[in-house]
Structure 1
Amino acid sequence: MTDHEHATQVIYLGGLGRSGTTLLERLLGELPGVMALGEVVHLWERGVLAGQPCGCGAPFPACPFWRQVGERAFGGWSARLAERVLTLRRRVDRTRRVPRIAHPDLGDYVQVYRRLYAATGARVVVDSSKHASLACCLASGGIDVRVVQVVRDPRAVAHSWGRTVERPEDGLPMTRWGPARTALHWTAQNAALELLARRGVPVTTVRYEDLLADPGPALAALGHELGLDETAAGLSFIDGRTAWLGPSHTVSGNPMRFQVGRVKLRRDDSWATAMAGGDRRVVSLLTWPLRLRYGYRGAA
């Protein structure tokens, strides 16, 4: 299979983790002609090298879908390939490079993703890698990418990053960050995505709170914005604030990537009562310009 046999549109979910990107990816992945791939940026380390489970439950090396993608794109997965991509990522794919992403290895790095996306056989894929730097690489490398910037109240995000959540893949706790670190990363990622939009990259902003307030119409509006003409006819899996999700082949992401069947769509606003006042003030202060831009006001 050559890179030109199949034109793949990429919907790239950007923002900071714990903002609802995995939920949105799962919903988009239920639409006709759309395939959710998870956080592809972590495929090389967590899938190829560590053999962690695919969203379908099978270990990455044993998943028939990913085995076929690897054969089509690269003649099979290998540690050598993964190490090469990780080396390219360290050279090219860095947030600090977003203002000027040009690099001699950019073409080789983007070509790997181009081949991988095409090898899925899907017309539209969803990559929820989140990092603005990878979105910048893909757009600069000529891939047909539509960025969806997923934002959530930074105080809610910081509260989530401070909680202990077990990873189903290995039983270990997910990474935890303090309020100040989360606030700085929230600002950096969203500011970088704003920069991409000013450069002409198609960026659509979706607030977590708006998505959960009325999931069906919010998803239909997003689908229309992204040019997914079949969206309105493909929303039978959503009934009010309930969704029915089928198995997925996501390679990394929030634990909800493993959920199948009936899923309640409701906001997590536990931060409003459980977050310490001092932590709330720190996050509010460090994020205030963009926080107000996205409509997150209220008391600190």
Structure 2
Amino acid sequence: MEQQPKINLIYIGSIGHSGSTLLESMLGAHSKMTTTGEIHMWPHEILQGGVKPCICGESILECPVWSEMRRRVDPLSQPEPQMHLFREQWDAGHTVRLDRLSDFSKGALSADIAEEVEVYGQNNYEVFGAFLDIMREKYSPELNWVIDASKDPYRLLWLARSQRFNITVLHVVKKPPSFAYSMVKRLPKEYANLVHRRLYETARQSLKWSIENYLITKTAQNHLDSGDYKLVNYEDLASDPMGTFKKICATIGCEFEAEAVTNFRQGSQHTIAGNPMRYEGKGIVLDEKWKTKLPSYLRVTSEVLTAMNRSVYGY
């Protein structure tokens, strides 16, 4: 069997609401890159009849790019495990998967898991390959990198272990209290002012912050070359987008393009899901509302529950 050429894949690892959509948009505005958005949600979009529109404004089911994608590669017709393996629902996936934690080690996988990783990698290879082909045909034959903003650490691990991609991981992290505030303010109105619900949500999200960031880091340490991983702090990205993006381009191995930063709103042409900021028109602003709006008891809770590893990420 002829060996397949590896696809250049930029994987944005994050727990969400940490600046990943901003970074993805900058990358997508680069002349050599194209972004899928949170591609592992595509099968759920099909199953549920379209939940969020493509950034072009059309339903994922009606968008000409995603319609053509499905004609070329239907993710629901691929063999198991399919590409949404680690996304049980459109809006949710598990933070802790006890049966998969051993996969993060450097050791060899069992024969049955190795076979699943092989199939999973090939399924995703076909999807990314089709997307690159379509975007090259539609926009530019110079596109050389495809971006996956799915963020999930388990997905990243299996993609890396499949050996089908030249992966660069951009790990986007936000200060824990700032992340906690981003999540607590999303509580439904009936719970927004209940102290116990706010405390519970802060604790839950803080533990998620520690666990998922740890798993992304562990994947990079055990399954990537050191030059293929870069930590990106939201605070740096938002306060110095040009300088930070220049360093990111150096990690990827591409030429820095200042226009990708200034025109980042044009960086998402046909993306799935992501933060609602995709649809806004404002510029890049460092959001630090948490400093005045997050109660001190929630800030302390967040800091205590992330103390185990937040220093690793500069906090």
Q: Same fold (TM over 0.5)?
A: yes
- The correspondence for 1:223, drawn from 236, 249, 258, is 249
Q: How far does the alpha carbon of each residue in 1:265-299 deviate from its partner, in whole angstroms, 9 at most, with x for none?
A: 01111111111111111110010132222222xxx
Whole-Å separation in 2 of the counterparts to 1:295 and 1:235: 26
Per the alignment, residue 100 of structure 1 pairs with 103
Determine the structure 1 residue equivalent to 2:158: 137
Cα separation, 2, equivalents of 1:65 and 1:107: 27
Question: Among 204, 223, 231, which residue is 2:230 paired with?
Answer: 204
**Structure 1 residues 48 and 60, CA gap change in structure 2 (3 angstroms):** farther
Offset, 1:187: 0.4
1:18 CA drift (Å): 0.7
Q: What one-letter code is carried by the residue in structure 2 that aligns with 1:145?
A: I
> How has the CA–CA distance of structure 1 residues 30 and 3 changed in structure 2, closer, same or farther, with 3 Å as cutoff?
farther
Q: Which structure 2 residues correspond to residues 145-224 of structure 1 after superposition, within 5 A?
A: 145-164=167-186, 178-201=201-224, 202-224=228-250
Q: How many angstroms does 1:163 deviate by?
A: 1.4
Matches of 2:16 and 2:87 in 1, distance apart? 20
Aligned to 1:171: none
CA distance in 2, matches of 1:220, 1:114: 28
1:274 matched to which residue of 2? Answer: 293
Q: Counterpart of 1:17?
A: 16
Distance 2:276 2:130 in 1: 26
State the partner residue of 1:43: 42
Corresponding letter in the other structure for 1:189: E
Structure 2 unaligned regions, length at least 5: 89-93, 134-142, 189-197
Deviation at 1:8, TM superposition (A): 2.3
Structure 1 residues 87 and 118, CA gap change in structure 2 (3 angstroms): closer
- Quickly say closer, same or farther: Cα 1:258–1:3, change in 2 above 3 A: farther
Distance 1:247 1:195, change over 3 A: closer
Contact 1:250–1:257 (CA under 8 A) maintained in structure 2:
no
Shift, 1:144, TM fit: 1.8
Please report the TM-score for the alignment, with normalisation by the length of structure 2: 0.78
Give the stretch that moved more between structures: 207-216 or 101-110: 101-110
Letter in 2 for 1:119: A
Instruction: Give the partner amino acid of 1:110.
Output: G
> How many pairs align?
274
Match of 2:195 in 1: none
How many angstroms apart in 2 are the aligned matches of 1:30 and 1:50?
A: 29
Q: What's the RMSD between the two structures over aligned residues?
A: 2.8
Equivalent residue, structure 1, for 2:137: none
- The residue type paired with residue 40 of structure 2 is V
Q: Distance in 2 between matches of 1:82 and 1:64?
A: 25
Instruction: Show structure 1 runs of 5+ residues with no match.
Output: 167-175
Task: Evaluate the alpha carbon distance shift between residue 83 and residue 54 of structure 1 in structure 2; reply closer, same or farther with a 3 A threshold.
Answer: farther
SS of residue paired to 2:207: helix
Give the AA of the match of 2:219: L
Supply the distance in 2 between the matched residues of 1:63 and 1:277 (Cα, whole angstroms). Answer: 46
Three-state SS of the structure 2 residue aligned to 1:85 is coil
Q: Is the 8 A contact 2:184 2:202 kept in 1?
A: yes
Counterpart of 2:58, as a letter, is A
Q: What is residue 286 of structure 1 aligned with on the other side? A: 305
TM-score (ref. length: structure 1) = 0.82
Deviant stretches of 4+, over 6 Å: none
